[in-house]
């Protein structure tokens, strides 16, 4: 009997159908010589400090650093996990071969390897490695099963990452909490979390320190085209007025007219980070929400494996592209021109050297019918249109630069005209078009021509640095804090990025949960708690994006077999030892950091129990959805929603009518169908009501009444 272990029940069901294991048993499927079982998330974790030494259960400075002589794993303390693991353990001990069908990535490899290790697996292990969950992909995967040993380096990198996070998270969190905390909160430190927070804090400080200044510029309109003086901005209105009087006394003369035709390259296919960036910019979705939507689309067999960090396709996919385009019936008007000629095998799209375990995210040949979630439809649309756009011709443009002068003052104007839209046709009907779609048409000028013009003084103000959005923060994490616009350069920096595509969303969510950052509209701001924490950390290693990016690079080298996990571990051990000595002897004092204890501990850092909440405190997650009676959950940091949201659709935004709802108001709305009276609610017309209520309408949508 061969035992297949999938990453979750739904995937196990798909695999069982393909291999012919159609008889349902307790915790697995059986048939045709196969038993197909499953995990659901992490079953095992690294042992906690007190599992090694009982005295490590208490948080004491004198016990730090905690360096176990060896690291062990244990089952998570969960009855459902224990029951399913018992089934897996029994099946593994009775079989002749195991097929690891876990998620085809580093985290999936780690999850399954730990389960097999804990189950005492001694039989040969094969690996199913697929990039989509379609029946065809699963069959092809089973025809080309790999030896598990081929993924030993991937497992080694995952294990080194987990151990590194344990060493730094457990020790640094206890160090800073005991040394600088006020006993009311845990000062959470993480290998990726802390440098990410440091970037936001640094930007926040730049914004806070910014002093706005007024400036004046000379502008003029000649032949319906606005020109701006190329001199430095003027610092006072008197100089601006004198400048205006000077240019009023002279005609405008064109000194140069240059028009160059150029091509704008096609956008790249999506990796996970670029998809999260695009969804945040265009749709306002958080990175965490986008990951959930794309994961759901993957499990519905509509797109390929999402947790990828490449924007390229493998060369062997080239023959399959026409078939995928042909299957995209909802986009037939856009795909039709591509199907009349061969698909070019461009290195900008197909490059084996740029593809590692998986290729870029693309649609599968499965038609996306019956998608009930608007959010999933929009994410699918982003992926589908990007896939189509990469095979269109390049966009041809004309860039125009005109120079002129009035007297001795020089002026400049620029414009761009799209000559042939090429790939931009794909986005022509979008409400929100691709950046750079706007055209600035300019007349043809002749060098030496001159004439009257309409000068004026423009008064402006300098602007502070822009706060991070989730989109710009994800890009900064990807490039270890470097501001990089060029896609080729960004590709080169990916090995040094902070975190991995699959973990960055969770890092951002962790910072929200710890109340180190907050969101206002799309912008992210460091809270005072977050600023205080970063100011407390004097050790630059802990908060340097570049150095953390270097650790990530070493983890990737471990994946490739060119860096020893033991060396990486020893480097982190030495860093933790040095950090402990430094913090213990520090005399630096920080003001009391009164953060709320985190809702959930990170795997890398366990904290002491938080004080019990007062009896009147509400736990909204104990409430039931009024529509379908499922549990109410916090959905990201924008709303509460039904645990069965995809099917039910019920949610209550944190803010309605310009008012942030209290826990009691949310509870009243869910349980009683309406809140008490609320002052100052904004109506849809934009007027402010003296007082009103929020109630659920017949479709269970919150409305102001």
Q: What is the pLDDT of residues 433-463, one digit of tens each?
A: 555 556 677 899 999 999 999 999 999 999 9
Q: Output the pLDDT for position 345.
A: 93
Residue 13: what pLDDT? Answer: 94
110-119, 353-362, 554-563, 626-635: which has the minimum mean pLDDT? Answer: 626-635
Separation CA 703–CA 697 (nearest Å): 7
Rounded distance between C-alpha atoms, residue 106 and residue 165, angstroms = 15
Residue 183 has pLDDT above 70, yes or no: no
User: Is pLDDT above 50 for 685?
Assistant: no
Structure tokens, 591: 């003001």
- φ and ψ of 71, to 5 deg: -100, 135
Q: Is residue 612 part of a domain?
A: no
Per-residue pLDDT of 291-336, as tens digits, reads: 999 999 999 999 999 999 899 999 999 999 999 999 999 999 999 9
Residues 322 and 368 both lie in one domain:
yes
Across 139-143, 194-198, 407-411, 649-653, least confident range = 649-653
**Rounded distance between C-alpha atoms, residue 671 and residue 663, angstroms:** 12
pLDDT, average across residues 631-655: 73
For residue 611, being part of any structural domain is answered with no
Q: Does the structure show a pLDDT above 60 at 704?
A: yes
Share of the chain above pLDDT 70, in %: 88
Predicted confidence (pLDDT) at residue 386 exceeds the cutoff of 70: yes
Half-sphere exposure in the Cβ direction for 71 (13 Å, CA): 19
**End-to-end CA distance of the chain, in Å?**
63
- Boundaries of domain holding 632: 620-704
Tell me: do 417 and 474 sit in the same domain: no
Least confident of 22-36, 377-391, 635-649: 635-649
Q: Which residue has the higher pLDDT, 639 or 204?
A: 204
Cα–Cα distance list, 72 to 117, 118, 159, 387, 657 (Å): 10, 10, 11, 44, 52
Cα–Cα dist 396/265, whole Å? 9
Q: Is residue 574 part of a domain?
A: yes
Of the pLDDT bands very low, low, confident and very high (cuts 50, 70, 90), residue 124 is very high
Tell me what percent of the residues of the chain surpass a pLDDT of 90: 66
Residue 151 is assigned to a structural domain of this protein: no
Average pLDDT, the chain: 87
116 and 74 housed in the same domain: yes
pLDDT score of 370:
76
**Which pLDDT value is given to residue 283?**
93
Instruction: Check residues 549 and 588 and name the one with the higher pLDDT.
Output: 549
Q: Are 505 and 279 in contact (CB under 8 A)?
A: no
Q: 298, 305, 312, 563: which is the annotated catalytic residue? A: 305
Q: Which of 88-97, 140-149, 500-509, 663-672 has the lowest mean pLDDT?
A: 663-672
| Domain shared by 247 and 317, yes or no | no
Q: Distance (Å, rounded) from C-alpha 330 to C-alpha 368?
A: 9
Considering its fold, how many domains does the chain have in total?
5
User: Is a pLDDT exceeding 80 seen at residue 471?
Assistant: yes
pLDDT in tens, 393-448: 999 999 999 999 999 999 999 998 899 999 999 998 875 555 555 667 789 999 99
Nearest to 127 by CA among 5, 288, 232: 5
- The answer to which of 18-27, 44-53, 209-218, 598-607 has the lowest mean pLDDT is 598-607
Looking at the fold, whether 305 and 379 belong to one and the same domain comes out as: yes
CA–CA distance, 362 with 385 (Å, rounded to integer): 10
Residues 6+ apart with CB under 8 A from 190: 165, 168, 169, 172, 173, 507, 510, 602, 604, 605
Domain boundary among 411, 439, 461: 461
In a domain, 443, yes or no: yes
CATH (domain of 353): 1.10.290.10
Mean pLDDT of 160-171: 94
DSSP structure string for 63-118? G-S---SS--EEE-S-HHHHHHHHHHHHHHHH-SEEEEES-SSHHHHHHHHHHHHH
Q: Are residues 252 and 400 in the same domain?
A: yes
Please list, in sequence order, all residues whose beta carbon lies within 8 angstroms of the beta carbon of residue 205, skipping any fewer than 6 positions away: 531
162 belongs to a structural domain: no
pLDDT of 492 reads 58
Q: Is residue 608 part of a domain?
A: no
Final residue in a domain of this structure, among 562, 585, 608: 585
The last residue of one of the domains, among 342, 359, 389, is 389
Q: Is residue 161 part of a domain?
A: no
Predicted confidence at residue 489, as pLDDT, reads 57
Lowest mean per-residue pLDDT among 245-259, 312-326, 375-389, 662-676? 662-676
409 CB-contact burial (10 Å; exposed 0-12 / middle 13-18 / buried 19+):
middle
Domain holding 438: CATH number?
A: 2.70.20.10
Look at residue 330 in the predicted model and tell me its pLDDT.
Answer: 93
pLDDT, greater one: 458 or 494? 458
Are 574 and 497 within one domain? yes
Name the band, by pLDDT with cuts 50, 70 and 90, for residue 23.
very high
Q: What is the pLDDT of residue 591?
A: 43
pLDDT at 127 over 90: yes
Q: How far apart are CA 461 and CA 213, in angstroms?
A: 6
Same domain, 383 and 495: no
pLDDT interval class at 140 (50, 70, 90):
very high
The confidence score (pLDDT) of residue 270 equals 96
The CATH number linked to 75 is: 3.40.50.140
Query: Which residues contact residue 217 at a Cβ distance below 8 angstroms, ignoring those fewer than 6 apart?
Result: 228, 229, 233, 234, 240, 457, 458, 460
pLDDT over 60 at 602, yes or no: no
Tell me whether residue 305 is one of the annotated catalytic residues. yes
pLDDT above 70 (res 151):
yes
pLDDT of 615 over the 90 cut: no
**In whole angstroms, what is the distance from residue 311 CA to residue 361 CA?**
8
Q: How confident is the model at residue 617 (pLDDT cuts 50, 70, 90)?
A: very low
Q: What is the mean pLDDT of residues 378-398?
A: 96
pLDDT at residue 647, rounded to an integer: 59
Residues facing residue 400 across a β-bridge: 259, 415
pLDDT-derived band at 607 (thresholds 50, 70, 90) equals very low
The answer on 297 and 379 residing in a single domain is: yes
89 and 198 co-located in one domain:
no
Same domain? For 659 and 566 the reply is no
Instruction: Tell me: do 16 and 133 sit in the same domain.
Output: yes
């Amino acid at each position: 009997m061969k035992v297949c272990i999938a990453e979750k029940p739904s995937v196990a069901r798909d695999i069982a159908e393909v291999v012919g294991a159609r008889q349902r048993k307790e915790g697995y499927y059986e048939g045709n010589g196969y038993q197909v079982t499953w995990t659901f998330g992490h079953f095992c974790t690294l042992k906690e400090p007190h599992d090694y030494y009982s005295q490590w259960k208490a948080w004491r400075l004198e016990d730090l650093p905690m360096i176990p002589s060896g690291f062990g794993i244990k089952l998570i303390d969960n009855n459902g996990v224990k029951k399913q693991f018992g089934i897996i353990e029994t099946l593994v001990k009775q079989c002749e071969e195991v097929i690891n069908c876990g998620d085809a990535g580093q985290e999936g490899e780690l999850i399954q390897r730990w389960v097999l290790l804990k189950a005492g697996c001694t039989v040969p292990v094969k690996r199913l490695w697929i990039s989509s969950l379609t029946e065809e992909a699963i069959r092809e995967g089973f025809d080309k099963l790999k030896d598990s040993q081929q993924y030993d380096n991937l497992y080694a990198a995952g294990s080194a990452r987990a151990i590194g996070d344990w060493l730094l998270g457990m020790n640094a969190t206890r160090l800073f909490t005991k040394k600088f905390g006020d006993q009311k909160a845990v000062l959470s430190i993480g290998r990726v979390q802390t440098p990410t927070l440091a970037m936001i804090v640094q930007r926040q400080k730049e914004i806070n320190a910014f002093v706005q200044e007024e400036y004046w510029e000379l502008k003029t309109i000649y032949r319906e085209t606005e020109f701006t003086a190329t001199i430095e901005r003027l610092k006072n209105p008197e100089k601006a007025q004198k400048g205006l009087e000077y240019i009023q006394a002279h005609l405008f003369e064109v000194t140069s007219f240059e028009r160059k035709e150029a091509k704008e390259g096609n956008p790249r296919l999506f990796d996970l980070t670029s998809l999260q960036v695009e969804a945040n910019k265009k749709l306002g979705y958080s990175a965490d929400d986008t990951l959930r939507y794309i994961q759901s689309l993957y499990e519905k067999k509509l797109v390929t494996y999402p947790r990828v960090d490449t924007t390229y396709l493998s060369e062997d996919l080239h023959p399959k592209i026409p078939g995928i385009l042909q299957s995209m019936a909802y986009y037939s008007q856009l795909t039709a021109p591509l199907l009349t000629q061969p698909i070019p095998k461009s290195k900008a799209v197909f490059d084996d050297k740029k593809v590692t375990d998986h290729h870029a995210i693309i649609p599968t040949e499965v038609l996306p019918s019956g998608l009930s979630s608007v959010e999933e439809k929009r994410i699918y649309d982003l992926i589908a249109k990007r896939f189509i756009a990469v095979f269109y011709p390049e966009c041809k443009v004309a860039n125009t630069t005109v120079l002129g002068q009035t007297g001795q003052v020089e002026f400049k104007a620029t414009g761009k005209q799209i000559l042939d839209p090429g790939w931009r046709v794909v986005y022509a009907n979008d409400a929100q078009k691709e950046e750079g779609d706007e055209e600035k048409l300019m007349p043809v000028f002749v060098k030496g021509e001159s004439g009257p013009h309409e000068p004026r003084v423009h008064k402006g103000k300098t602007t502070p640095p822009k706060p991070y959005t989730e989109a710009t923060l994800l890009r900064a994490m990807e490039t270890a804090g470097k501001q990089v616009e060029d896609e080729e350069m960004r590709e080169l920096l990916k090995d040094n990025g902070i975190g991995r595509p699959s973990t960055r969303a969770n890092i951002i969510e962790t910072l929200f949960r710890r109340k180190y950052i907050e969101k206002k509209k799309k912008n992210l701001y460091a809270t005072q708690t977050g600023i205080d924490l970063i100011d407390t950390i004097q050790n630059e290693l802990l908060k340097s994006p570049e150095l953390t990016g270097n650790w990530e690079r070493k983890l990737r080298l471990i994946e490739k077999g060119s860096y020893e996990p033991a060396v990486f571990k020893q480097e982190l051990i030495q860093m933790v030892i040095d950090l402990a000595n430094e913090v213990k002897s520090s005399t630096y004092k920080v003001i009391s950091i009164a953060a709320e204890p985190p809702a959930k501990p990170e795997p890398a850092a366990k904290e002491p129990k938080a004080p019990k909440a007062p009896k009147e405190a509400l736990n909204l997650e104990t409430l039931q959805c009024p529509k379908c009676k499922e549990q109410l959950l916090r959905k990201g940091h924008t709303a509460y929603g039904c645990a069965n949201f995809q099917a039910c659709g019920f949610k209550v935004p944190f803010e309605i009518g310009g008012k942030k709802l209290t826990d009691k108001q949310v509870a009243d709305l869910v349980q009683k169908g309406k809140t008490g009276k609320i002052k100052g609610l904004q109506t849809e017309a934009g007027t402010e009501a003296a007082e009103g209520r929020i109630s659920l309408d017949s479709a269970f949508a919150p409305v102001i009444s």
